[in-house]
Amino acid sequence: MTVTATNLYENVGYTRRSTSAGTRLELSPREVPQSISTITQQRIQDQNLETIEDVLANTTGISTRSIDSNRIDFYARGFRINSYQYDGIPTLNTDNRWYFGEGALNTAIYDRVEVVRGANGLMTGAGNPGASVNFIRKHADSQQLTGSLSGSVGSWDQQRAVADVSTPLTESGNVRARFIGGYDESDGELDRYNERTAFGYLVIDADITDDTTLSVGYDVQNTHANSPTWGGLPLWYSDGSETDYPRSFSSAPDWSYQDFESEKVFVDLSHRFANGWELRGAATHAKTDLDARLMYASGFPDRNTGLGVTNFTGWNRGKRQLDSLDLYTRGPFELAGREHELVAGISYSNQSNDYDNSFAPAFAAGDFNHWDGSTPDPDWSEWTPLEGTKVLQRAMYGATRLSLADPLTLILGARYTEWDGDSWSSSGGSRSQSQESITPYAGLIYDINDQWSAFLSYTEIFQPQDNRDADGDFLDPVVGRNYETGLKADWFDGLLTASVSVFRIEQDNVAQADPLSEGSIETTYHAAEGVVSEGIDFELNGAVTDNLDLTLGASHYTAIDSDGPYNTDQPRTKVDLFGRYRVPHWQQLVVGGGLSWQSHTYTNDAAGPQGTTTFSQGSYTLADLFGRYQFTPQVALQVNIKNLFDEKYYSYLDGYGVYGDPRSATATLSYAF
Instruction: Flag whether pLDDT at 118 surpasses 50.
Output: yes
Q: What is the pLDDT confidence band of residue 519, given thresholds at 50, 70 and 90?
A: very low
Q: What is the pLDDT confidence band of residue 515, given thresholds at 50, 70 and 90?
A: low
Q: What is the DSSP letter of 471?
A: T
Q: Please indicate whether residue 345 or residue 5 has the higher confidence score (pLDDT).
A: 345
* CA 616/CA 601 separation, integer angstroms: 6
Q: Is 155 exposed, middle or buried (0-12, 13-18, 19+ CB in 10 A)?
A: middle
Q: What is the pLDDT confidence band of residue 522, given thresholds at 50, 70 and 90?
A: low
- 163 Cβ contact list (under 8 Å, min separation 6): 147, 148, 149, 179, 180, 181, 182
Instruction: Flag whether pLDDT at 548 surpasses 70.
Output: yes
Instruction: Flag whether pLDDT at 37 surpasses 70.
Output: yes
Give me the residues paired with residue 608 across strands.
611
Q: Is 262 exposed, middle or buried (0-12, 13-18, 19+ CB in 10 A)?
A: buried
| Predicted local distance difference test score (pLDDT) of residue 21 | 85
Q: Which amino acid is at 436?
A: E
| Predicted local distance difference test score (pLDDT) of residue 6 | 45
Q: Are strands 635-642 and 620-630 parallel, antiparallel or unpaired?
A: antiparallel
| Predicted local distance difference test score (pLDDT) of residue 405 | 95
| Predicted local distance difference test score (pLDDT) of residue 270 | 97
Q: Are strands 131-137 and 83-86 parallel, antiparallel or unpaired?
A: parallel
State mean pLDDT over 333-355: 94
Judge whether 457 and 484 are in contact, CB under 8 Å.
Answer: yes
Neighbours of 398 (CB within 10 A): 19
Give me the residues paired with residue 348 across strands.
325, 394
Instruction: Flag whether pLDDT at 525 surpasses 60.
Output: yes
| Predicted local distance difference test score (pLDDT) of residue 99 | 87
| Predicted local distance difference test score (pLDDT) of residue 543 | 96
Share of the chain above pLDDT 90, in %: 79
State mean pLDDT over 59-72: 94
| Predicted local distance difference test score (pLDDT) of residue 84 | 86
Q: What is the pLDDT confidence band of residue 127, given thresholds at 50, 70 and 90?
A: low
List pLDDT tens digits, range 619-645: 999 999 999 999 999 999 999 999 999
State mean pLDDT over 217-239: 96
Q: Please indicate whether residue 226 or residue 430 has the higher confidence score (pLDDT).
A: 226
Q: What is the pLDDT confidence band of residue 92, given thresholds at 50, 70 and 90?
A: low
Instruction: Flag whether pLDDT at 289 surpasses 50.
Output: yes
State mean pLDDT over 295-304: 96
Q: Is 519 exposed, middle or buried (0-12, 13-18, 19+ CB in 10 A)?
A: exposed
Which among 12, 53, 39, 48 is positioned nearest to 636, based on CA atoms? 48
61, containing H or E segment? none
Q: Are strands 278-299 and 525-528 parallel, antiparallel or unpaired?
A: unpaired
Cα 286 to chain centroid, rounded: 17
User: Roughly how many angstroms between the first and final C-alpha of the chain, as a whole number?
Assistant: 34
Which among 548, 541, 567, 512 is positioned nearest to 130, based on CA atoms? 567
| Predicted local distance difference test score (pLDDT) of residue 521 | 53
Q: What is the pLDDT confidence band of residue 606, given thresholds at 50, 70 and 90?
A: confident
Judge whether 642 and 624 are in contact, CB under 8 Å.
Answer: yes
Instruction: Flag whether pLDDT at 247 surpasses 90.
Output: yes
State mean pLDDT over 540-569: 94
Instruction: Flag whether pLDDT at 42 surpasses 60.
Output: yes
Instruction: Flag whether pLDDT at 3 surpasses 50.
Output: no
Instruction: Flag whether pLDDT at 142 surpasses 60.
Output: yes
Backbone CA torsion sign across 296, 63, 623, 603: negative
- 387 Cβ contact list (under 8 Å, min separation 6): 354, 355, 423, 424, 425, 426, 522
In the chain, what are the domain boundaries? Answer: 11-672
In three-state form (DSSP H/G/I as H, E/B as E, the rest C), the secondary structure along 392-430 is EEEEEEEEEEEEEECCEEEEEEEEEEEEEEEEEECCCEE
Domain 11-672 is found in CATH 3.90.226.10: no
Instruction: Flag whether pLDDT at 5 surpasses 80.
Output: no
Per DSSP, the three-state class of 660 is coil
DSSP secondary structure string, 484-533?
Answer: EEEEEEEETTTTEEEEEEEEEEEEESEEEEPPPPTT--S--EEEE-SEEE
Q: What is the pLDDT confidence band of residue 10, given thresholds at 50, 70 and 90?
A: low
List pLDDT tens digits, range 170-187: 999 999 999 999 999 999
